[in-house]
Chain A
Amino acid sequence: KAGVTQTPRYLIKTRGQQVTLSCSPISGHRSVSWYQQTPGQGLQFLFEYFSETQRNKGNFPGRFSGRQFSNSRSEMNVSTLELGDSALYLCASRNPGHSSYNSPLHFGNGTRLTVT
């Protein structure tokens, strides 16, 4: 079974620009989450989507947004980029079942975003 796929792997953008990152979850997984990883803050939750609806959102400004399509693929958008947005952005999928909140996340290898 193919894992979580994220594209692109690396991205360099300039302050003020916007960026869109893409994620394809594991086949059959309907929930997709996004996390930001930086050396100082570690992994921080951005948001989670299930069946095209945002279920939960972390403590990030409105410049960070996402969406999920009917095939469960997801995109994350960051507008008006700031230097501090430089990070590894990780997408994860899971298959909510009976114990939906206990199902583990399976991560992709991330998109490394550098803002100059």
Chain B
Amino acid sequence: EDQVTQSPEALRLQEGESSSLNCSYTVSGLRGLFWYRQDPGKGPEFLFTLYSAGEEKEKERLKATLTKKESFLHITAPKPEDSATYLCAVRILYSGGGADGLTFGKGTHLIIQP
């Protein structure tokens, strides 16, 4: 069964303390790995798409990387406004050619303390 696992479930950091969030997946026919940020009471906000192993994307203090089995979201010198739940998701290409909906991990709840 295709699975997406995120770790840790929760992470508390001091402002300026860099760290990484992990997203591991066991799927075949990967057609993209997506990172989202979700704030309380809101829908997920798109951050990055990664397509192939070795690819990296950056946006402000965030950098996403992808290997054949996992993705990392690196947060450099985070600020309190980076506090949110970070979700990763994969889209799979099925043998019939159709791609199903995104399969999401449970997310990492990140808290940045001032």
Binding site for B on A (CB under 8 A): 4, 33, 35, 42-48, 55-56, 58, 90, 92, 101-102, 104-110
Q: Tell me the complex Cα distance, A107–B104, Å.
A: 14
Which of B16-24, B44-52, B59-67, B75-83 participates in binding chain A?
B44-52
Q: Which of A43, A47, A55 contacts B87 (CB 8 A)?
A: A43
Could you tell me if B42 and A109 are in contact, using CB atoms closer than 8 angstroms? yes
Q: Tell me the complex Cα distance, A73–B23, Å.
A: 33
Chain A residue at minimum C-beta to C-beta distance from B87: A43
Binding site for A on B (CB under 8 A): 31-32, 34, 36, 41-46, 49, 51, 87, 89, 91, 93, 98-107
Given contacts A58-B101, A101-B32, contact A42 B106 (CB under 8 A): yes
Known: A48-B101, A107-B46. 17 other contacts (CB 8 A): A33-B102, A42-B104, A44-B104, A45-B103, A47-B101, A56-B100, A56-B101, A101-B91, A102-B31, A104-B34, A105-B46, A105-B102, A106-B46, A107-B44, A107-B45, A108-B43, A109-B41
Q: Which of A47, A55, A104, A109 contacts B49 (CB 8 A)?
A: A104
Q: Tell me the complex Cα distance, A44–B41, Å.
A: 17
Contacts of B104 in A (CB 8 A): 35, 42-44
Could you tell me if A101 and B99 are in contact, using CB atoms closer than 8 angstroms? yes
Q: Tell me the complex Cα distance, A106–B44, Å.
A: 8
Could you tell me if A42 and B107 are in contact, using CB atoms closer than 8 angstroms? yes
Least Cβ distance of A62 to chain B in Å?
17
Given contacts A101-B31, A102-B49, A102-B91, contact A56 B44 (CB under 8 A): no
Chain A residue at minimum C-beta to C-beta distance from B97: A101
Contacts of A45 in B (CB 8 A): 100-103
Least Cβ distance of B49 to chain A in Å?
6
Chain B residue at minimum C-beta to C-beta distance from A100: B99
Least Cβ distance of B52 to chain A in Å?
11
Q: Tell me the complex Cα distance, A56–B34, Å.
A: 19
Could you tell me if B98 and A55 are in contact, using CB atoms closer than 8 angstroms? yes
Q: Tell me the complex Cα distance, A102–B103, Å.
A: 13
Chain A residue at minimum C-beta to C-beta distance from B48: A104
List of 4 A-B pairs having minimum Cβ-Cβ separation, nearest first = A45-B101, A107-B43, A101-B99, A43-B104
